[in-house]
Amino acid sequence: MENSFIHLFILLPIIGFLISLVIPKSQENVLSKVAFATVGLQLIALLFFTTLWMSNGNNIINIKEFSVFSTTGYDFYVDFYLDHITLVYLFLGAILTFIITIYSRYYLHRESGYKRFFNTILFFYTGYIIIIFSGNLETLFIGWEILGVSSFLLIAFYRDRYLPVKNAVKVFSIYRIGDVGLILVMWLSHHLWHENISFFKLNNAHLVSEHLEAHSWIGLAISLLIFISAAAKSAQLPFSSWLPRAMEGPTPSSAIFYGSLSVHIGAFILLRTAPFWEHQTSFRIFLVVSGLSTAIIATLTARVQSSIKSQIAYASISQIGLIFIEIALGWQYLALFHIAGNAFLRTYQLLVSPSIVSYKIREQFYNFIPRKHSIEDNLPKRIENTLFILSIKEWNLDSLMYRFLWNPLKEIGKKLKFLSFQNIIYFLITMIILGFCALAFQEELPKTVSNNLPLMFSLIGFIVIIKGFIERNSARLAFTLIMVNHFFIALAISFTEHLNIEELLWYLSGVIGAWLGGVYLLTRLRNQEEWISLDNFYGHVYEHPKTAIIFLICCLTLAGFPISPTFIGEDLIFSHVHYNQYGLAFFTALSFIINGLAAIRIYSRVFLGPHVKKYHDVAKRSA
C-alpha cells in the first residue's frame, strides 16, 4: 500500500507535465487547472499517506525499481527511498508549488510565455520529486539535472531580453560545477563500495566505518565533493553571487526556485549523506566555518542591496549558511524546521515584493526617514567603509570566479585559433586513427607510454572542448568540437580498461545522434537566415520555435541530460577510471563541465536574446 503511494507521488508530476505539453497555449484556464490539480491531488494523497505511514511506525521505505543499464561490475538502477527528511521536503514542495500555481494563474495572465511557464514549473517539480525520493546517487542525479535545465529555462523566461539570457547561462555554469561534483562523488563511491551504494545501506554505521577506516582520504574527498555540489546548488561560498542573478525570471519562479525549493536542495544532499560524513570531524569543522562565513558575508551584502529581490536572495543565502552549520553539528530536526520556516518566509516575501516596491516608491515621494543607527556604526570608520565597499561589490565573488576559472580557460582557447572547421576534421581523423592503432598494439607499447596514453587523450579532448567553448565564428564548428571531445574521452578510457562494444555504443550513440541532428538544424537555419556566428544573440526562437526546441534537446543530449544514452554513458565512463588516476578524472570532469556549458551557450546565442531583425520589438540591453 505504501509503495503504491510512492509510485503515485512520482508519477503525478510526470503525467501532469506530459498533459500540459499537449494543451494549446491559448487555453490558459486549462493549463493552470492541470498544474494545480496535479499538485493538489498530490497534496491530498500526501495527507492520507502521512497518516498511514505514522500509524505503521514511521518505517523507512526503500524500493529498488529497475536497472536502466547493467554490465559486469556496473549497474545503473533507479531506487526510491522515503524517511522523515523526504516527507518534510514533500510537504514543502506540494504546499508551496500549489500556492505558486494559483498565484501564477493571475500574475501571468495574457503573458506570451504562459504555457511555457507552466510546462517548466511542472518539469521542475518532476525533478524535485525525483530528488527527494531518490534512493541512490544515480537516481538523485536524474532529478538534479532536470532541476538545472528547468532553472535555466525559467531565468531566461523573458528570452527576448539580453540580461535574463546572459544570467541564465551564468547560473547554468555554476550548476554545471555542481553537476560534475556529483559525478565525481559517484566515481569515487564506485571504488569505495564496489557498487552503486544506496542511501539505505549508508545507514549501516558498521559498513560505513569499515570502509572509511581503510580509505580515509577517499572518504574525505567524497565529502568535499558533496559539499561542492551542495554549495553550488544552495549558493554558498564561493558560489553565492549567482542567486541574485537568478531573479531575472518571473516573480513566481523566483519564489519557488530561489526562495523555497531549489535553493534548499544543497541542504537536502547534506542531510541525506550525513551517515557517511558525520564521523569525519575535519569535514564537519570545515562545514561549520563555511556556513558561518557565508552567513556573515551574505548578511552584510543583503544590508546594502538596492533591489528588493537581491535583499531577499542574500538574506536567504545567510539563513542557508546557518542551516549548513546546524546540519554539521548534527541538529537534523532543527535544520528541517529551519528549512521549512525559511522556505515559507522567502516565498511570501518574494510574492509580495512587487507590491512592496510600489508602496516604497510612493513613500519616497512623501516621507523622508533618516537612516537609523546600525551595528556597523560601532566599528572603526575605516573598517565600516571597507565592509560597505566590499558588500556593495558583493565581495567580488563574480570577478574572482571569472579570474580564476573562466578567464584562464578562455586564454587557453584563444591560442587554438588554428583549429578551423576543416583542420579539426583532419585533426580528428588523424588522432582517432593513431589512437585505435595504439589501442590495437597496446601490449607491444612500452609500459610507461601505455600508462600515459589515457591522460594524453583526455588532455587532447580537454583542449578540443576549450576551443569549442571560446569559438565565436562558427556555431557548427563549436557544436562539432563538443562531439569530438566525447570521442577523445571514450578513447582515453579505452586505454584504461577496454570498453566492450555495448558500453561504447551506449555512450557514443547519444553523442553521434545529437551531433547529427544539431548540425542539420544549424545548416538548415543558416540557409534560411543570414550568417550565424556566436558573437551575438540572434533570437531565432521567435521565428523558428520548433527548430529551437529540437536543437535544445540535441544540446542537452550532447551535454548528458537524463535519460539520454550520453547521461548513463558519462557515469559508465567514470566507472572505468581507477581511483588513483586523478589526472584522467580531473580532465574528464573538466571536459564534462565545459561541454555542457558550451552546448547551452550555442543554443542561447543562436535562439535566445534580442532578435537580430530590426522589424521585431527589441528590449533595451538593461531591461
| Residue 365 confidence (pLDDT) | 60
Weakest mean pLDDT among 302-306, 315-319, 605-609: 302-306
Confidence of residue 440 (pLDDT cuts 50, 70, 90): low
Averaged pLDDT, 38-44: 89
Query: Quick one: pLDDT at residue 278?
Result: 84
Whole-number Å distance between alpha carbons of 250 and 255: 9
Share of the chain above pLDDT 90, in %: 11
* C-alpha triplet 216, 222, 224: angle, nearest 5°: 105
Q: Rounded CA gap, 574 and 158, in Å?
A: 37
Give the E-state strand segments of 61-151 in sequence order.
Answer: 61-71, 74-82
> What pLDDT score does 269 carry?
92
Which of 97-106, 110-119, 422-431, 471-480 bottoms out in mean pLDDT, i.e. has the lowest? Answer: 422-431
Would the pLDDT of 289 be above 60? Answer: yes
pLDDT value at residue 222: 87
Give the pLDDT band (50/70/90) at residue 369: low
Mean pLDDT of 611-615: 71
- Mean pLDDT along residues 177-191: 84
As a three-state string, the secondary structure of 383-444 is HHHHHHHHHHCHHHHHHHHHHHHHHHHHHHHHCCCCCCHHHHHHHHHHHHHHHHHHHHCHHH
258-277, pLDDT tens digit by residue?
778 888 999 999 999 888 88
Least trusted range by pLDDT, from 9-23, 156-170, 504-518, 576-590: 576-590
**79 has pLDDT over 80:** yes
Q: Is 319 exposed, middle or buried (0-12, 13-18, 19+ CB in 10 A)?
A: buried
Nearest C-alpha neighbor of 250 from the set 354, 346, 175: 354
Percent of the chain with pLDDT over 70: 88
Q: What share of the chain is helix, strand, coil (3-state, %, to 5)?
A: 75, 5, 20
Contact (Cβ atoms closer than 8 angstroms) between residue 490 and residue 504: yes
Name the nearest CA neighbour of 223 among 130, 305, 290. Answer: 290
For 491-529, give one letter per residue: b (16+ CB within 10 A) or e. bbbbbbeebeeebbebbbebbbbbbebbbebbeebeeee
pLDDT higher than threshold 80 for residue 396: no
Position with higher pLDDT, 477 vs 320 = 320
Residue 497 has a pLDDT of 64
Name, of 263-267, 366-370, 388-392, 486-490, the range with top average pLDDT.
263-267
Region label for 28, one of left (φ > 0), alpha (ψ between -120 and 50) or beta (otherwise): alpha
Q: Indicate the pLDDT class of residue 611, thresholds 50, 70 and 90.
A: confident
Contact criterion met (CB below 8 Å) for 6 and 82? yes
Q: Report, as an integer, the average pLDDT of 530-543.
A: 79
Return d(Cα 562, Cα 306) in angstroms, integer: 39
Task: Report the alpha-carbon distance of residue 330 to residue 198 in Å, rounded.
Answer: 21
User: What pLDDT is stored for residue 142 in this prediction?
Assistant: 87
The average pLDDT across 311-320 equals 89
What is the DSSP code string of 241-284? THHHHGGGS-HHHIIIIIIISGGGHHHHHHHHTHHHHTT-HHHH
Instruction: Give tens-digit pLDDT for 505-525.
Output: 778 888 888 889 999 998 888
Give dist(CA 432, CA 508) in Å, integer: 14
Q: By mean pLDDT, which of 297-301, 352-356, 440-444 is the weakest?
A: 440-444
CB 573 within 8 A of CB 504: no
Which letter, b or e, does each residue of 604-614 get, where b requires 16 or more Cβ atoms within 10 Å of its Cβ?
bbbbbbbbbee
Instruction: Give the CA radius of gyration of the chain.
Output: 25
Grid coordinates given for 170 = 551564468
pLDDT in tens, 92-136: 988 998 888 888 888 888 778 888 888 888 999 999 999 999 888
Domain ranges of the chain: 2-362, 415-607
What's the one-letter identity of residue 261? L
62 forms beta bridges with: 81
pLDDT of residue 17 exceeding 80, the answer is: yes
Helices 2-22, 28-55: axis angle to 10 degrees equals 170
Which pLDDT score, from 0 to 100, does residue 442 have? 64
pLDDT at 199 over 60: yes
* CA distance linking residue 102 with residue 88, whole number of Å: 22
Q: Using CA atoms, how far apart are residues 299 and 30, in angstroms rounded to an integer?
A: 42
Q: What is the mean pLDDT of residues 6-32?
A: 87
Pairwise CA distance, residues 583 & 451, whole Å: 12
Average pLDDT over residues 147-173: 86
187, pLDDT greater than 80: yes
Residue 334, pLDDT score? 93
Give the Cα separation of 423 and 364 in Å (integer): 62
Q: What is the mean pLDDT of residues 308-333?
A: 90
pLDDT of residue 410: 73
The answer on pLDDT for 244 being more than 60 is: yes
Q: How far apart are CA 14 and CA 122, in angstroms?
A: 8
C-alpha cell at 300: 552584510
Q: Which span out of 69-83, 152-166, 248-262, 375-389 was modeled with the highest average pLDDT?
A: 152-166
Angle between helices 281-302 and 381-392 (to 10 degrees): 90
Q: What is the pLDDT of residue 327?
A: 93
Going by pLDDT thresholds of 50, 70 and 90, the confidence category of residue 293 is very high
CA end-to-end span of the chain: 52
Please say whether the beta carbons of 566 and 160 come within 8 A: no
Which pLDDT score, from 0 to 100, does residue 6 have?
84
**Tens digits of per-residue pLDDT, 542-588?**
888 888 899 999 998 888 887 678 887 777 777 777 777 778 888 88
What's the mean pLDDT in 586-598?
Answer: 86
pLDDT value of residue 422: 67
Take residue 24 and report the three cell numbers written for it.
Answer: 494549446
Q: What pLDDT, on a 0 to 100 scale, did the predictor assign at position 285?
A: 92
